[in-house]
Structure 1
Amino acid sequence: MYLRSGKSKRTAPESKKSFQIFEIEQNIDEISSDESTGINSENESCESSMSSDLEESNMTESDGESTEIDESTNEDEDANDDWLDVEKIPEIFDFNGCEGVKQNWPSNIAPFEAFSLIFDNVLVEKIVKWTNHKAKILRSSRTSRQSTMRMWKDTDAQEMKKFLGVCIVMGNVKMPSLRHYWATNFIYNHPFFGRFISRNRFEAILRCLSFYDNTDDTSNRLHKIKNVVEHIVTNIQEIYSPGRNLSLDEALLLWRGRLFFRQYIPNKAAKYGIKLYELSTPNGFILNILIYEGKGTVYNQSSSHAHGVVQKLMDPYLNKGHVVYIDNFYTSVNLAESLLQQKTHIVGTLRKNRKFNPKEVINKKLAKGESVWKRKGNVVVGKWKDKREVCMISTYHEFKMVNWKNSRGIESMKPNIIIDYNQFMAGVDRADQMMSYYSTPRKTVRWYIKLFFHLFDMCIWNSMIIFKKVTEMN
C-alpha cells in the first residue's frame, strides 16, 4: 500500500492481446457433448487488501485476524533505556544477488517460451493426469442416461493447452456468460471458440479439472490446490533472481461461497474472499505466495502469526542483503531484530501499540512537519506528521528530511524513509491491478478452481515481465 496525501495514479493497462500464449491448432474436429458446469466470464478481480497507514484507526488489529497476533504493548515490557538519538549510520549488508533471469536466453525468445518457463509441460501433464483421474471417478458414480460424462474421453496435454488457451482469449473477449462464447446468433456469434473446442467439451474439462489425487494428504486444507502452488513457486524461484528491494503485502481474492478459511473484511468492497500473502519485486513480479488457511495456522511456533508469515515468505531470500518493505500489519521491533540476524533489512509503517516501541516516539505530540526518531542498535523508529501522524521503522536508513515534489509539482520536506516506502512498496498492488484487466474467467462453485485461474493469471503476468527483460522490450 502507498503512503500518499493525494490520489495515486493508475498504471495504464498493458495489453495482453499482444502477448499470445498458445499456438492453437486449426481445423480441429468438434468433440462430442459433455455436461455443463455453470461458469461465467464475469471478471471478479483479485482485490488488494489495502488500508490507509495514515489513519489512526489503523493502529488497531485488522482483517479479522486479531487472535493471530500478539504484538500489543505492555507497559512493563518496554525497554526504553536502550533507545538513543539517531546519530549512528546503520550497518548496511552487502547485497550478493543479481537481478534478472538466471539462465541465458536468446533475445528473440517467443512469448510462449517465456510462459513455459513457469507453467511448464511437466505441470500440464500432471493436470492432465489429475483431471482424467477425477473424470474416471465421476463416470463410475451413479449417472443418468442423459449424462454426457458417460461419453467422456481422456484428455491429453495438447487438448489441455487448447483449453487453457481458450481461457486466455476469454479474458480479452468479454461475454455475459460462458455459453455466449459459443452462441450462433447475430449479436454474440464469435467463430473462434467453436473452431477449436466445442462448448460441451470445454464444460466437461472444466467440470473434471483437478489438481490432486487420492495419494495426497487430505488433512491439509489446501490439498486441492497445494500441488499447483508449490510447482509454480518452485519454477519462479529457479528461473528468476530479484534485486535488493522486495515488497510483502496481502491480497483478497473475491469468494462468497462457503469456505472454512474465507476471510471477512468489512472495510473492503468484496468483503469476503481468500486471503493471499505475496512477496514481489517493486515492479510486480510475484516471487512467493502463501494462502491463509484460517485460524490456527502456524508458520513459526516461537513467534506471532504476522512474524511467521514474513519469515516463511522471505525464507528463500534471507542472508542475501535484501530490503523488504512491509506494512504495519506485520512490522514490530522484534521482527526487525530477527531479520537483522539473518542479514535482511526491513522498512515499513508501524502500529503505535506494538511491543517494545520507544515511548518517547509514540507519546510525543507533533505539529505539522515535525518528526521524532530514535535508534536501538540498527533499528530506527520514528514518527512524522503531515496531515496526520505516521510511525515508521527501518533497519536500512539513516534518517534524513529531504525535498520532495508531488505529482502537482508542490515541493515539501519529507522523511527519506517514507519516500522509499512509497516507491518500493507497490509491487503486489501493481501485479493485482494488471492481472485484473484481462483475467481469465473464474466464477465457479469450487474455490480451488477460482484460485487456480488466479495462479494462471499470475504465471502470465510474471512471464510477460521475463519476456520484456530478455527481449528488452518496453
Structure 2
Amino acid sequence: MAEKAYKRSLRRRPIPTRFRKEYVSEISSDSGEEASYDSDDDVFTPDDSDWSGDQASSDDCFEEYDCEDEMVVLEDDDKEEAEEVEEESEVTPFGLGSEGFDGHSYNITGRMVPTRGGGQAAMVRLERAAELRKWRPMDEESSFKVHKFKGPAPGYKGMFGARTKSIDYFDIFFNHTILQLIVNQTNLYFTQSNPGTTFVELTIEELQAFFGMVIMISTKGVRVLRHIWSKLPYFHDKALASIMTRRRFFWISRNLHFNDNTHMPKDPNPDRLYKLRPILDHMKAAYQRHYNLSKHIAIDEAMVKFKGRHSGKQYDPSKPTKRGFKVWTLADSMTGYVYNFNVYMGRFGNPDNRDLGFRVVKGLITHNLHHCYHRLYCDRFFTSVPLLKDLKRIGMYCCGTVQHDRQGLPTEIVNLKYSANDMPRGESHLSKHKDGFCSYAWKDRKLIYFLSSAHSGDLPLTAVIRTIDQKGNRGEVPCPQACYDYNMYMGGVDRADQLRSYYCVDRKSRRWHMRLFWHIFDTTVTNAYIIHKEWQFRNKVPPTSLIMFRYYLAEQLMGDFSSRQRVGRPAAALSMRVNASHEHVIVDLRTEGFIIKRRCQVCLRNILRHETYFGCAQCDNVPLCNNSVRQCFENFHKNSAN
C-alpha cells in the first residue's frame, strides 16, 4: 500500500522541462515509429524524420539523454488503479490536464511516473528508480554464476630454503635497506636538533639490538622501563641491562626518526603522514610482495590508541579504544595476515562523489587482486550496491551486512522492518538483482540485512548455534549461506588485532608518529609469525607459540651485541701497560673503549651526581672527576692510601 500511495503522489508532479523527451516511453502507433518533437506546435508526433523545427529552441528546452533503462513505467497491474485516481482527481496522468506546466500541450501515450524538480536532482531520481526496477522477487528465475577462485596458491611467495630461524622471516620486511634508512634519519635528526654536539652515532647492529630489547620487554610485560636498570634485585634485568645502558636506550627511543623534516613540503594540503611515509610505503609493498591471499579476505578498521593532539585523531565511543588513529586494514580471513592498510587522516577530496566506505575499499584493493575472484567480506559501513557492482566489474565478489536505509535496496526487503516483530526467528527473505547479486533479510534476535555477489542467488539454508530460550539452552537456528559465510570469514582483521594485542610493544608517546610506527612494527612481527607457522606446517615441524617466536626473535636480534663492551685496545695489552708503570695516571676513558659518561665514584659516595669521561687507568678505569672545582682524582687515591 505504501508503494502504491507513493506512485500516486509522484503521478501528480510535473515533468521537468529539460526531460520532456525522456518521458516518452512508447507511441500508440502500431508501426513502431519513433517519436519526434515539433517546436512549432510543441507536440510530440510519430515521424520517421529526425527532430524538426527550430533546433535552437528545442536545445534550450532539454538535453538529449539516453534513459532506456531509467524509465519508470507503471506495471499492468497498476494501470487500473492509476485510471481510478485520474477519474477521482480529474487530471491527466501528469496531474496537469491537457497542458503542461509551461502552457504547452503534450501528446504522451506512455504510462510513466514523473518526478519532481529538474536538472541534476531529477536525473538522480530517475537513476534510483531505474535501479529499483532491476530487483526481482525470489520466485523468479535468474541465472548468474559465481566463478571459482582463480588466484595464485595462497601463502608465502618465496622459497623457504634455509629459513628456519625467527629472524629470517623478520628480515623479509625489516631488511637492511629500511634499517639503514632509520639509522641515517635518526643520526640526522639529532644533528639537526643539537647542532655542534658530539655524540655516538647509531649503527644497524645497535638498532637491531634495540628492537630486540623492545620485543623482549613486551614479552615480559614490563610496564616501567626504568626498572630494568634498577638496583632492586626483583626489578633488575641483568640480561637486558648488559646490552646497553639506560641512558643509551632512551636516547635511541627519543631520537628515532624516519624522514628528513627539512624536506617537508610547504603545500596548503601537505602529506599529514610525511614523518612516516618511507616506512608506510616500504611495509605495504613488502606485505604484498611476499604473500598471496587466500580465497576469503576481509576489510575492517583498527584503532591505534593516542590521546595527544593531532588533526587526524578520531573518536569512536563504540570501540574499546575510543580515541586514536583509524587504520583501514585488508587481511586474510584464514590466517590474519595483513596485506594492505591505509591510515585515515580525516576528510579529504571526494572527486568521484562516492561515500567513504566505497573509497576505502577501492583504496585497499590493489591491481594484482583483480579478476582473481576473491570473496571480500566487510561490515555495513562499507557495503553498498555501487560497491558490489564496481567490485564485480574488476573480478571480485563481496558479501556483507548493509544498513536498511542504503539507497538501491529493494522495497520488499526494506519494508520487512515494519513486520519484523511478527517474523519467527530464522526466517529469511531474498531478492535478486539482474546485475548478479542478492539482497537478504534474516531474522535473528533482530532483522539483519545482507548484500552478496558471492552467492549464486538461490536460498540454501544452513544453521548457526544460538541461545534459544531463557534457560540458556543452545540450538540451531536456520540462516542463509551468505550469513553463515559472513560469520565465518569476516574476522580476518580481528584475528590480526588479536595476535598483535597479546604482546604489544606500543608505548605511550607524545610524538604521534611513534604510536603509528609501533603499530606497524607489531603488525610486521605478526606477519612474520604467520609465515613462520606456514613453514612449520609444510615441513611437519611442531608449531611454535607466539610468545616463544617473539622470544627467539628478540634473542637473535640482540645476539652478542653490547654497547658496554670495550671496542679499543684488548684488555690484556691494557693490563701490561698499566702494570709497567705503577703510578696512578688520569686518562680519557673514551680511548679505552668507554663511549659514554659514567658517574664519578667520589661524588657518588658524597650523594652527588656528576658524570665524567675521565678516570684512573691503573684502578680498573674507575670514573673520577678532574677539574679545578672537584679534585676527586686526588681525594680518591688519598682515601685509598689511608
Q: TM-score, normalised by structure 2?
A: 0.59
| 1:5-404 matched pairs, under 5 angstroms | 77-78=128-129, 79-86=131-138, 87-97=141-151, 98-106=153-161, 109-140=164-195, 150-213=197-260, 214-217=262-265, 219-282=270-333, 283-296=335-348, 298=350, 301-316=352-367, 317-364=369-416, 365-366=419-420, 367-368=423-424, 369-376=426-433, 377-398=435-456, 399-404=459-464
Secondary structure at the counterpart of residue 457 of structure 1: helix
Secondary structure in 2 aligned to 1:403? strand
SS at 2:150 equivalent: coil
Partner residue of 2:496?
431
For the Cα contact (< 8 Å) 1:93–1:344, is it kept in 2? no
| Residue deviations 1:57-107 (CA, integer Å, cap 9, x gap) | xxxxxxxxxxxxxxxx97982432210134435322342222011112127
Instruction: String of CA shifts for 1:262-318, please: whole Å, max 9, x gaps.
Output: 0011223332110000000012100000000112255x6342221111011012322
What one-letter code is carried by the residue in structure 2 that aligns with 1:344?
M
Is the CA contact (8 Å cut-off) linking 1:167 and 1:441 kept in structure 2? no
Indicate the larger mover: 188-197 or 208-217. Answer: 208-217
> C-alpha separation between the residues in 1 aligned to 2:536 and 2:323?
40
Contact 2:437 2:455 in 1 (8 A): no
Shift of 1:208: 0.9
Does the CA-based 8 Å contact 2:378-2:400 persist in structure 1? yes
Provide the rounded CA distance (Å) in 2 between the counterparts of 1:311 and 1:386. 31
1:165 Cα offset (Å): 0.7
Classify 1:430/1:200 alpha carbon distance in 2 versus 1 (closer, same or farther; 3 Å).
same
How far did residue 321 of structure 1 move? 1.1
Please give the secondary structure, in 2, of the residue aligned with 1:196. Answer: coil
Q: Secondary structure at the match of 1:410?
A: strand
Post-superposition Cα deviations, 1:186-242, rounded to whole Å, max 9, x if no partner, equal: 231111221111111111111111111133546200101121011011011111011
Which segment drifts farther, 157-166 or 90-99? 90-99
Contact 1:90 1:396 in 2 (8 A): no
Identity over the aligned pairs, expressed in percent? 27
Deviates more, 1:461-470 or 1:438-447: 438-447
Give the distance between the partners of 1:241 and 1:110, measured in 2 at CA.
Answer: 22
Partner secondary structure for residue 114 of structure 1:
helix
Change (3 A) 1:200 1:89: farther
| TM-score (norm. length: structure 1) | 0.79
Q: Which amino acid aligns with 2:462?
A: V
> Is the CA contact (8 Å cut-off) linking 1:370 and 1:385 kept in structure 2?
yes
SS for the counterpart of 1:383 is: strand
> What is the one-letter code of the residue matched to 2:308?
G
Cα distance in 2, alignment partners of residues 370 and 379 from structure 1? 20
Residue segments in structure 2 that go unaligned for 5+ positions in a row:
1-123, 468-472, 544-642
Note the residue ranges of structure 1 that are not aligned, 5 or more in a row.
1-72, 142-149
Q: 1:389 to 1:297 in 2, by over 3 A?
A: same
CA distance in 1, matches of 2:291, 2:309: 36
Q: Which structure has more RCO (C-alpha within 8 Å, separation ≥ 6)?
A: 1
Higher Rg: 2
> Residues 261 and 278 from structure 1, CA distance in 2 versus in 1: closer, same or farther, beyond 3 angstroms?
same
> Is the Cα–Cα contact under 8 Å of residues 163 and 169 in structure 2 kept in the other structure?
no
Shift in Å, 1:406: 5.4
| 1:368-397 alpha-carbon deviations (Å, 9 max, x no partner) | 222211111211011110110000000011
TM-superposition CA deviations, 1:143-169 (whole Å, max 9, x none): xxxxxxx45211111111011111101
Task: Please tell me the residue identity of whatever aligns with 2:277.
Answer: K
SS in 2 for 1:224: helix
Take 1:217 and 1:409, find their aligned partners in 2: how far apart are those partners? Answer: 60
Give the equivalent residue in structure 2 for 1:16: none
Task: Tell me how far apart the structure 2 counterparts of residues 450 and 192 of structure 1 sit (CA, whole Å).
Answer: 27
Q: Distance in 1 between matches of 2:177 and 2:529?
A: 20
86-95 or 419-428: bigger deviation: 86-95
Task: State the Cα distance separating 1:179 from its structure 2 match.
Answer: 1.1
Aligned CA distance change for structure 1 residues 354 and 459 (closer, same or farther; 3 Å): same
Per the TM alignment, residue 352 of structure 1 is displaced from its structure 2 partner at its CA by 1.0
Which deviations, in whole Å up to 9, do the C-alpha atoms of 1:317-356 show, x marking residues without a partner? 2222111100000110011001111011000000111111
Q: Measured at CA, do residues 199 and 358 of structure 1 come closer, stay the same or move farther in structure 2, by a change above 3 Å?
A: same
Q: Which runs of 4+ in 1 moved over 6 A?
A: 73-76
Q: 1:437 to 1:289 in 2, by over 3 A?
A: same
The question of whether the paired residues in 1 share the 8 Å contact of 2:431 and 2:439 is answered with yes
TM-fit CA distance, 1:454: 0.8
